[in-house]
Structure 1
Amino acid sequence: MKNIIITGCSSGVGWFLSQQLAKEGHTVYATMRNIGSKNKDAANRMKAWARENSVNIVVVELDISSESSVKTAIDEIALHSNGAIDVLINNAGLGSTGLLEAFSGKEMDHIFQVMVLSPDRIIKAVLPFMHKRQEGLLIQISSRMATFQIPFLGPYAAAKAALGSLSNTYNKELKVVGIDSVLVQIGAVNTALRKNVSANFVENTAISSKYGEWYPKAKKNIIEMFGANRSTHEPAEVANTISSIISTPFGQRKMIYTIGLDILASSIIEINKISTDISNKVIEKEDL
Structure 2
Amino acid sequence: MSKVVLITGGSSGIGEAIGTHLSAKGYTVYGTSRNPDRLTGQQPFPLLKLDVNNADNAVSVCKHIVDTEGRIDVLINNAGVGVTGPMEEVPEAEMRKVFDTNFFGPVNMMKAVLPYMRKEGSGLIINITSIAGYMGLPYRGVYSAVKGALSLASESMQMELAEMGVDVCDLAPGDFNTNIAQGRYHAPIDSDSDYAKSYARVMDVINSQMDSASDPSRVGEKVAAIIESGRRKRHYKVGGFMEVFSVRLKELLPDKVFNKLLRNHYKL
TM over 0.5: yes
Contact 2:77 2:127 in 1 (8 A): yes
Does residue 130 (structure 1) correspond to residue 117 (structure 2)? The answer is: yes
Report the 3-state secondary structure (helix = DSSP H, G, I; strand = E; otherwise coil) of the residue aligned with 1:234: coil
Q: Distance in 2 between matches of 1:225 and 1:96?
A: 15
Q: Give a deviation string over 1:224-260, Cα, whole Å, max 9, x none.
A: 22215643121111111100001113xx101011111
Q: Give a deviation string over 1:178-230, Cα, whole Å, max 9, x none.
A: 11111111111111114x38x6311142xx7341xxx2332222222221564
Indicate which of 61, 64, 68 corresponds to 1:76. Answer: 64
Tell me what 2:216 maps to. 235
Does residue 191 (structure 1) correspond to residue 167 (structure 2)? The answer is: no
Tell me what 1:45 maps to. 42
Indicate which of 120, 123, 128 corresponds to 1:141. Answer: 128
Displacement after TM superposition at 1:261 (Å): 4.6
Displacement after TM superposition at 1:271 (Å): 5.9
Unaligned ranges ≥5, structure 2:
253-268
Q: Distance in 2 between matches of 1:179 and 1:118?
A: 19
Report the 3-state secondary structure (helix = DSSP H, G, I; strand = E; otherwise coil) of the residue aligned with 1:209: coil
Tell me what 2:261 maps to. none
Does residue 268 (structure 1) correspond to residue 238 (structure 2)? The answer is: no
Q: Distance in 1 between matches of 2:65 and 2:175?
A: 32
Q: For 1:1-288, what aligned pairs fall within 5 Å after superposition?
A: 1-36=2-37, 40-42=38-40, 44-46=41-43, 50=44, 57-82=45-70, 84-194=71-181, 196=182, 200-205=185-190, 209-211=192-194, 215-228=195-208, 230-249=211-230, 252-269=231-248
Higher RCO (CA 8 Å, separation ≥ 6 residues) = 2
Displacement after TM superposition at 1:45 (Å): 2.8
Displacement after TM superposition at 1:106 (Å): 1.5
Displacement after TM superposition at 1:153 (Å): 0.5
Percent identity reads 30
Report the 3-state secondary structure (helix = DSSP H, G, I; strand = E; otherwise coil) of the residue aligned with 1:164: helix
Q: Distance in 2 between matches of 1:161 and 1:149?
A: 9
Contact 2:189 2:196 in 1 (8 A): no
Contact 1:186 1:261 in 2 (8 A): no
Q: Distance in 1 between matches of 2:251 and 2:157?
A: 16
Residue identity matched to 1:221: R
Displacement after TM superposition at 1:63 (Å): 0.7
Report the 3-state secondary structure (helix = DSSP H, G, I; strand = E; otherwise coil) of the residue aligned with 1:101: coil
Q: Distance in 1 between matches of 2:58 and 2:133?
A: 26
Q: 1:264 to 1:163 in 2, by over 3 A?
A: same
Residue identity matched to 1:263: M
Q: Distance in 1 between matches of 2:107 and 2:249?
A: 27
Displacement after TM superposition at 1:266 (Å): 3.1
Contact 2:79 2:101 in 1 (8 A): yes
Q: Distance in 2 between matches of 1:17 and 1:170?
A: 23
Contact 1:144 1:261 in 2 (8 A): no
Q: Distance in 2 between matches of 1:140 and 1:218?
A: 32
Report the 3-state secondary structure (helix = DSSP H, G, I; strand = E; otherwise coil) of the residue aligned with 2:185: coil
